[in-house]
Each structure stands twice: as C-alpha cells, then as structure tokens.
C-alpha cells in the first residue's frame, strides 16, 4: 500500500505542474482532478484494508532519527481514514467549483501541494511530524487566500496565519512536555507510557486545537479569513482545516488523555456552548452574507466541541457525523455566497433580494443547505444535532438541552437571510446582474445537495464508520 508517497508525492508534483502549465494552463486542473480522484480511491482502499478489530493499520516508518525517537510513523485507523476520504472528496469538489479560476497554473499547483501536508496530518501518529504537517498546511493557504482573495485578503490571511501559529506554539510546548515525560513521540507509545498528565499539558494542547476549530474566544480569525477567501477556498478552510482542529482534539486530547479530558469536560462544554450561542447571535446581527455563513460555521463547530466533550462512544460518533455534515452543508453555502458576490458585486443581503426569480436552481440549493444548517429533519443537519443533543443529555444531564437554543437561533438567521436575499422584492442590483454558472460549478453544488439529503435520510454508512472509529470507547 502507498504511504509516504501520498504525502511527499503531491508536494514534489506541485512545482512540476506549475512549470508544465506555464504554456497550457488547463493542464493543471486536470492533473489536480486526476490526483484527487486517485487519492480518494486510495483512501477508500485503505478503509477496506483496516483491521477488523478497530486498531491501526501500519503503513511504514521513515526518516528515523537516532537518539530522539523521531520518525515519520504512518499509521491509520478508521477516524483518520474517514478524514482522508473527506479531504479527497472535498478536494475534488473544490476543483470543480474553481474550474474557471484565474491564473490556473499557480492556483491548482498550490491545491496539489496542499494535499501533501493535509494527508500527512491525518496519516502520521508521530507527534512532531503531526505538528510539522499541521504548520505546513498554512503555507499553501497563505498564497491561495493572499493572491486570489478579496480586497482585504492580506489582512485576513496574515491574521489567520498568526492566530494559527500562536495557537500552535502552545500545542508545540505541550508536545515537548509530553516527550519530556514519556520519552516517546509516537501517539501509541505515549498513550501507554503516560499515566498522569499534568493539567498544564492538557490546557496547552486544548488551546492549540481550539484556535484551529475555532472555539470562542479564539474564533475571530474565521469570519475575516472566510470572507476574503475565494468561495472554493472557503470550502477548504471550513471543510478540511476546521476538521483538522476537531480531529486533533479527538485524537491528541480525548484519545490520548481520556482521564484528564473527562475531568475538564465541563470546560469544553461551556466553551462549546458559548461558541454556538455567541456565533449564532452574531450571525443574526450580520448583514454580510458570507459572514452569516461563517458565523453559522463557527456555531456548528461549537456543537462538535460539546459532542467531543462527552468523551463517550455516542458523543464522539455524533461529533464525527456533525463534522462530515458540517463540511457538506456549509461548503455549498460558501460557494453560493461567493458566487452571489461575484455576480452582484455586493455582500449585503439587504441589497440583494429576488434572486430566487433569476437563479432558481442555485437558490434552491442554498435554501436546502440553509435548512440543513438549521437542522430540518430529512437533512444531514437534523441527524447531527439530534444525536449531539441526545448524547450530551445522556452525559451531562437535562440542562444541556439549552444547546437546542442554538438550533433556534440558526432558524432565525437562515430563514431571515433567505427571505431578505432570495425572496424579497427584486432589487436593482439583482435586476441588472446576470446569474450564469459554469457546468462544473453547478455539478459540485448538485453533488453537495445530493449528499445532504442522502445522509439525512440514510445516515447509517457514516455511523458504521464511526462505530469502527470509536470502538475503544465502548460501542453498540
């Protein structure tokens, strides 16, 4: 089975693609598409090859450093393979949705480069290599947003970069303290060797992942970064980078330090609740359509944090379902919001209105995804929120049902935004704009819509995956 090639292959391929595509720019997107389809196939193949008892599939060990226990150990379990599948699948849709992007050679080369470290993040169990890939992910993002983004793109991306970097400093020190205590860099051996974890390490790691997720009060980078990023890059940010934070929280905080995590669970719950409610209220107040979506995204990640805090089989499965649901639901909203701005040259829902009449199909998908975001039964959002609330009540008692207010707030901002932007009287801005969309972009949206409904009425496949991912927390 391929292992280290999946990480360094794309990173080496990217410069070649860039130079080849200088003459013929269309080459780059086809290479990217082929690569991501290949990665998806390999990830699915890996899922089939996982050991039946829910343990890790060992893929190899490279670059061993004597005297430091530092080696690129590649192992995957169900959780990481699910993230790999999600990453590869979303990347394909990102290629579709940015089919007509300008400066394609550089753009798609960066996307190809991006695939390397992100696969590394999910494949390695070595703490220091995990950190290496974690940081490296930021570099292609810097250029993708900094060059192709909106007017305040440089401010937004540098803010994001510095936030992520400052957050990861704490995580970095946390990893060092773990190594100092146990003498191991590898997740598996650390878990065995670490008997008591000082609270300090736990908090350092938690802060590192909380910035990336992002959780209140570290969330302020997200609205800026999402608003300034091009629509398809917002998909990468929301669909993959935020998941990276949640994945890290599950793997390196909950799984590695379950005892301490149970001890501090209440703090995660409070932070998660604050995130959900605060971001939801901000979304109601907001008129900027992409910021509404961005706050909705933060609000959902708060739910994921609450689900993770249960440290139970039910809760973690619900969190995994919601993570995938969030990726599939929020992505089309971001793409459509970016597209609307591109067509109408305004960001504000007040100035839109009547879009439903001019672009009915895209608007219908927007409404569908919006309904999923507020948790309408029959969509992915409903299953995610229901399972999270149920598992949280089971763990923390009935008071946690206040989280359902988050759903209520979501109904507020989604329905109000849909009313103002799509249904109200046609505004002059909309009347003079042309709402055409390329075939590939539209196809990406249709695929998202299909999965929103499919997994909404038939969530079993994802829960099957979650079942194998969280066996050690006791399953059905």
Partner 1 sequence: MGSLIILIGAGLLVPLFFKGHMIIAKYIAAAAFAAAAFNVYMGNGIDLPYFVLTPDTQLMEIVVLIVLAATMMTFSGFERPLIPQTLFVGAASLAILETNNFLMYIVLFEVIAIISYVLAANIRSKLNAEGAIKMFIAGATASGFILLGFAMFSMITPTFNYSEISVHGNFALVAFGIMLAGIFYKMTVVPMHGWAADTYAQVNHAAAAILSATIKVVIAVATFKAFYLFMAAYPTTTVWLFGFFAIITMTLGNFMALFQKKIAKILSFSSIAHAGYMLLPFAAVASMYSYTGLIYLGIAYVFMQTSVFLILNDLRREAHIKTLEDIKGLYKKSPLHALFFTIQLLSLAGIPLLAGFISKAVAFYAGVDAGLWPLILIAALNSALSLGYYLWVIKHIYFDEPVAGTHAKITMTPGSLVGQLILLAGTIYFGIFAAPVFSTTLGL
What are the residues binding partner 1 (CB under 8 A)?
A: 63-68, 70, 128, 131-133, 135-136, 138-139, 142-143, 146-147, 153-154, 158, 161-162, 165-166, 169-170, 172-173, 176-177, 179-180
In whole angstroms, how close is the CB of 142 to partner 1 at the nearest point? 7
Q: How many C-alpha atoms does 461 have within 13 Å on its Cβ side?
A: 11
CA torsion, ordered 307, 310, 316, 320, to nearest 10 deg: 10
How remote is the C-alpha of 348 from its chain's centroid?
Answer: 25
User: What is the H or E stretch that residue 255 is in?
Assistant: none
Looking at the chain, the number of H-run helices and the number of E-run strands are 22, 2
Cβ closest to partner 1, residue 101 vs residue 286: 101
In whole angstroms, how close is the CB of 205 to partner 1 at the nearest point? 14
In whole angstroms, how close is the CB of 233 to partner 1 at the nearest point? 15
Beta bridge partners of 76: 57
Cβ closest to partner 1, residue 94 vs residue 128: 128
Cβ closest to partner 1, residue 107 vs residue 278: 107
In whole angstroms, how close is the CB of 71 to partner 1 at the nearest point? 10
Cβ-Cβ contacts under 8 Å for 172 (sequence gap 6 or more): 131, 208
Cβ closest to partner 1, residue 20 vs residue 44: 20
In whole angstroms, how close is the CB of 117 to partner 1 at the nearest point? 8
Contact 122, 84 (CB under 8 A): yes
In whole angstroms, how close is the CB of 57 to partner 1 at the nearest point? 24
Cβ closest to partner 1, residue 63 vs residue 259: 63
In whole angstroms, how close is the CB of 300 to partner 1 at the nearest point? 28
Cβ-Cβ contacts under 8 Å for 262 (sequence gap 6 or more): 311
Cβ closest to partner 1, residue 28 vs residue 359: 28
In whole angstroms, how close is the CB of 190 to partner 1 at the nearest point? 15
Alpha helix (H) ranges present in 310-438? 313-344, 355-358, 360-374, 380-396, 404-418, 428-431
Cβ closest to partner 1, residue 68 vs residue 361: 68
In whole angstroms, how close is the CB of 204 to partner 1 at the nearest point? 9
Contact 216, 299 (CB under 8 A): no
Question: Residue 182 CB: number of other CB atoms within 10 A?
Answer: 18
Burial class (CB in 10 A: 0-12, 13-18, 19+), 266: exposed
User: What is the H or E stretch that residue 59 is in?
Assistant: strand 57-65
Put residue 425 in one of left, alpha, beta given phi > 0 → left and psi -120 to 50 → alpha: beta
Cβ closest to partner 1, residue 47 vs residue 155: 155
Alpha helix (H) ranges present in 353-403? 355-358, 360-374, 380-396
Cβ closest to partner 1, residue 136 vs residue 466: 136
Question: Residue 248 CB: number of other CB atoms within 10 A?
Answer: 25
Question: Phi and psi dihedrals of 13, rounded to 5?
Answer: -70, -35
Cβ-Cβ contacts under 8 Å for 7 (sequence gap 6 or more): 74, 116, 117, 119, 120, 123, 133
In whole angstroms, how close is the CB of 346 to partner 1 at the nearest point? 24
In whole angstroms, how close is the CB of 143 to partner 1 at the nearest point? 7
Cβ closest to partner 1, residue 12 vs residue 431: 12
Distance, in Å, from the CA atom of 314 to the CA atom of 321, rounded to the nearest integer, reads 11
Cβ closest to partner 1, residue 38 vs residue 146: 146
User: What is the H or E stretch that residue 186 is in?
Assistant: none
């Amino acid at each position: 089975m391929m292992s280290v090639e999946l990480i360094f292959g794309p990173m080496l391929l990217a410069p070649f693609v860039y130079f080849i595509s200088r003459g013929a720019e269309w080459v780059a997107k086809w290479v990217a598409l082929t690569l991501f389809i290949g990665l998806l196939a390999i990830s699915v193949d890996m899922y089939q090859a996982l050991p039946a008892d829910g343990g890790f599939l060992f893929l190899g060990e490279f670059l061993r450093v004597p005297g430091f226990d530092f080696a690129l150990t590649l192992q995957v379990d169900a959780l990481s393979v699910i993230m790999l599948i999600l990453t590869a699948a979303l990347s394909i849709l990102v290629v579709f949705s940015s089919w007509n992007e300008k400066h394609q050679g550089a753009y798609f080369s960066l996307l190809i480069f991006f695939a390397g470290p992100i696969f590394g993040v999910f494949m390695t169990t070595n703490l220091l290599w995990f950190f290496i890939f974690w940081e490296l992910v930021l570099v292609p993002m810097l250029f993708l947003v900094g060059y192709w983004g909106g007017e305040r793109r440089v401010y937004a991306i540098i803010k994001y970069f510095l936030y992520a970097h400052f957050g990861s400093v704490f995580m970095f020190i946390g990893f060092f303290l773990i190594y100092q205590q146990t003498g191991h860099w590898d997740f598996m051996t650390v878990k065995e060797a670490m008997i008591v974890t000082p609270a300090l390490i736990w908090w350092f790691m938690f802060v590192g992942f909380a910035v990336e997720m992002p959780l209140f009060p570290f969330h302020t980078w997200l609205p800026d970064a999402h608003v300034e990023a091009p629509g398809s890059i917002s998909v990468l940010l929301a669909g993959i980078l935020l998941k990276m934070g949640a994945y890290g929280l599950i793997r390196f905080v909950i799984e590695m330090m379950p005892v301490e995590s149970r001890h501090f669970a209440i703090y995660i719950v409070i932070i998660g609740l604050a995130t959900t409610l605060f971001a939801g209220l901000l979304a109601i107040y907001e008129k900027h359509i992409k910021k509404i979506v961005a706050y909705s995204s933060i609000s959902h990640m708060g739910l994921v944090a609450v689900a993770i805090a249960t440290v139970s089989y039910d809760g973690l499965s619900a969190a995994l379902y919601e993570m995938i649901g969030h990726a599939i639901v929020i992505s089309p909203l971001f793409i459509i919001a970016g597209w609307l701005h591109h067509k109408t040259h305004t960001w504000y829902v007040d100035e839109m209105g009547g879009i439903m009449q001019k672009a009915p199909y895209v608007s219908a998908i927007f409404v569908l995804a919006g309904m999923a975001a507020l948790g309408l039964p029959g969509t992915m959002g409903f299953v995610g929120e229901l399972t999270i609330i149920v598992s949280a009540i089971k763990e923390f008692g009935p008071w946690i049902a206040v989280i359902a207010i988050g759903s209520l707030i979501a109904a507020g901002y989604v329905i109000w935004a849909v009313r103002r932007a799509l249904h109200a009287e046609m505004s002059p801005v909309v009347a003079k704009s042309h709402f055409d969309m390329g075939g590939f972009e539209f196809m990406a949206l249709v695929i998202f819509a299909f999965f929103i409904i499919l997994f909404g009425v038939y969530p079993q496949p994802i829960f099957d995956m979650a079942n194998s991912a969280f066996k050690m927390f006791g399953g059905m």
